[in-house]
Structure 1
Amino acid sequence: MATPADGSTRLAPDEPSRRLRAEIERLHDEAAQQKALAHRRAEFWNRAHIVLGFPAALLAGVAGTAGLATADARVPAALLALTSAGFAAGAGFLRSDARRIANKRARQAWADVEGKTSVKLAHEHLSPEDLRELLESRQAALAAYDGDGPWPGPPSALPG
């Protein structure tokens, strides 16, 4: 930015292009960070789903078996059934499977933003339309956490 003697501010000839590139680079860095964060969150919610769901299923089976074995085993079976119900209720309350899927969706959307920004940064000349397109992709990535929309990217993209 240049300031002439009259105090007005003028942009250097390459200033808008430099600012545009800097904003796209910032968006690229944000996308990389958010993709990694969504990946870690998806792994966390996957573990939470297993930690809550597996004991619930196992305890329910043991409680049913113990309850049918003898009359003396009904109280321990009831305690096992209550514990199992607690695990199942916790899993339902936390919605860990839905959160895992939402974070996988977000991870894929952020990877899309990261890829698009890399392609744009490879070009010598950038336009405000390039930034607008990338910001729309960013909004889609932020909305991906809601989990209601279609998977970003090609229609054949599946959670994984």
Structure 2
Amino acid sequence: MVTFADGTTRLGPDELAHRLRAEIERLRDEATRQRKLAHRRAEFWAKLDIALGFSAALLAGTAGAAGLASADVRVPAALAAPASAGFAAGAGFLRSDTRRRANKRARHAWASVEARAVVTLTREHVAHEDLGDLLECRQAALASYDGEEPRPEAP
């Protein structure tokens, strides 16, 4: 740090480079954590989607078959039908397929931040622009949870 006669201080070139590298390393570590978290969330929502959807289909099929089989099993079939509807409604309410896709998009966006940070850290000299680019990439990763998937262009 350099102190001037008027009392102001400025970072020296080595200290500035060290702080830039430290911030880029912090961004890389954050991106690694967020990528892993998004991966685990995507897996969770995929499993939940399968569990709810399969249960709803299985109960609906069983209720329909049991209800048509004989008069004795119509009461259990009548009980299985609302359970099936409940699983289907739960799957629709939770929108687990949408959440899974959002976390997959986020995982890819965080992987991009991580990769850019790693490449930046391999350079001998790091500039302010490098940190600015990484921060913009980080903002895009944060926004990827809410964003929509790109739609195909109409011909």
Output the CA distance in 1 between the equivalents of 2:12 and 2:19. 11
Whether the 8 Å contact between 1:101 and 1:147 is mirrored in structure 2 is: no
Corresponding residue number in structure 2 for 1:17: 17
1:25 CA drift (Å):
0.7
- CA offsets, 1:85-139, max 9 Å, x none? 1111111111111111111111111111101110011001111111111111111
Output the CA distance in 1 between the equivalents of 2:13 and 2:116. 26
Output the CA distance in 1 between the equivalents of 2:124 and 2:103. 34
Corresponding residue number in structure 1 for 2:57: 57
Corresponding residue number in structure 1 for 2:46: 46
- CA offsets, 1:50-74, max 9 Å, x none? 2211111100000010111123322
Output the CA distance in 2 between the equivalents of 1:11 and 1:107. 36
Output the CA distance in 2 between the equivalents of 1:79 and 1:129. 64
Q: State yes or no: 1:145 paired with 2:145.
A: yes
Q: State yes or no: 1:112 paired with 2:138.
A: no
Distance 1:97 1:149, change over 3 A: closer
Output the CA distance in 2 between the equivalents of 1:103 and 1:10. 42
Q: What percent of counterpart residues are identical?
A: 70
1:34 CA drift (Å):
0.2
- Partner of 1:146: helix, strand, or coil? coil
TM-score (norm 2): 0.89
**May I ask how many residue pairs the two structures share in their alignment?**
151
Corresponding residue number in structure 2 for 1:158: none
- CA offsets, 1:11-67, max 9 Å, x none? 223222222111111100000000000011111111111221111110000001011
Output the CA distance in 1 between the equivalents of 2:143 and 2:34. 13
Note the residue ranges of structure 2 that are not aligned, 5 or more in a row: none
Q: CA RMSD in A?
A: 1.7
Distance 1:63 1:39, change over 3 A: same
Output the CA distance in 1 between the equivalents of 2:123 and 2:70. 75
One-letter code of the match for 1:91?
A
Output the CA distance in 2 between the equivalents of 1:10 and 1:139. 29
Output the CA distance in 1 between the equivalents of 2:108 and 2:10. 41
Residue range with higher mean Cα deviation, 36-45 or 9-18: 9-18
Output the CA distance in 2 between the equivalents of 1:52 and 1:12. 59
Output the CA distance in 2 between the equivalents of 1:25 and 1:125. 14
Corresponding residue number in structure 2 for 1:29: 29
1:7 CA drift (Å):
3.9
TM-score (norm 1): 0.87
Corresponding residue number in structure 2 for 1:134: 134
